[in-house]
Amino acid sequence: NAGVMQNPRHLVRRRGQEARLRCSPMKGHSHVYWYRQLPEEGLKFMVYLQKENIIDESGMPKERFSAEFPKEGPSILRIQQVVRGDSAAYFCASSPVVDWDWVRRYNEQFFGPGTRLTVL
Amino acid sequence: AQSVTQLGSHVSVSEGALVLLRCNYSSSVPPYLFWYVQYPNQGLQLLLKYTSAATLVKGINGFEAEFKKSETSFHLTKPSAHMSDAAEYFCAVSVGEKLTFGTGTRLTIIP
């Protein structure tokens, strides 16, 4: 069973360009999470998606950032008009279906290797 | 809201010595707690997790952590450090679906 896959692993963009980061969850996982890791910092939650739905985007910057997880294909994190401050490692995690009949069922997140975005 | 504080951004220990990485949490409800390890230019790997079962949790690679509610702590330990343990370690808390991470501790092993 392949793990979480992210591509590209490294992405270089000039200021003002668009960046598209892709995440393929583990087989059978329908929940995807995106995190951003700035240099010398921990990971910060950005967005949580299920197939075709954004569940929690409380960590997403209000402008230029968007995420989707279509019915078919990978989850996409899109950054428009990138700026130098967007340079970071972006990690995707996935988890299997949560049974919400149980209160606070823990759902382990499996992380991908990350995409390292450099904005010149 | 929940938060995690990792004391010591850099820790150095000699090979064979005890490893102790500190983590304190804040949560308004009983938390789930995790330790992840990140090797250079790689993603995060789960070392161990606390989900309200036994307070002493054993993980992979000889690591363990003890949940102490009275101290709001979840410190990570390993009796004898190996060179291969050199990495960045992150403590995280979960209330609901998202994880909140600490700022990390970089562990260096001295030969």
How many beta-carbon pairs below 8 A join chains A and B? 53
Q: What is the pLDDT at residue A101?
A: 45
The chain-wide mean pLDDT, for chain B, equals: 91
Q: Alpha-carbon Rg of chain A, whole angstroms?
A: 14
For B99, the token pair is: 């994880």
Hey, are the CB atoms on A43 and B43 less than 8 Å from each other? no
Six-digit token string for A88:
């970071």
Whether the pLDDT of residue A104 is over 60: the answer is: no
For the record, the structure tokens of A57 come out as 């985007």
Model confidence at A24, in pLDDT bands (50, 70, 90)?
very high
Region A7-19: mean pLDDT is 97
Q: Could you tell me if A80 and A18 are in contact, meaning their C-beta atoms sit under 8 angstroms apart?
A: yes
* Residue of higher predicted confidence among B97 and B25: B25
Give the confidence band of B16 by pLDDT, cuts at 50, 70, 90.
very high
Q: How many Cβ atoms are within 10 Å of B15's Cβ, its own excluded? A: 13
* A103, closest residue in chain B (CA to CA): B96
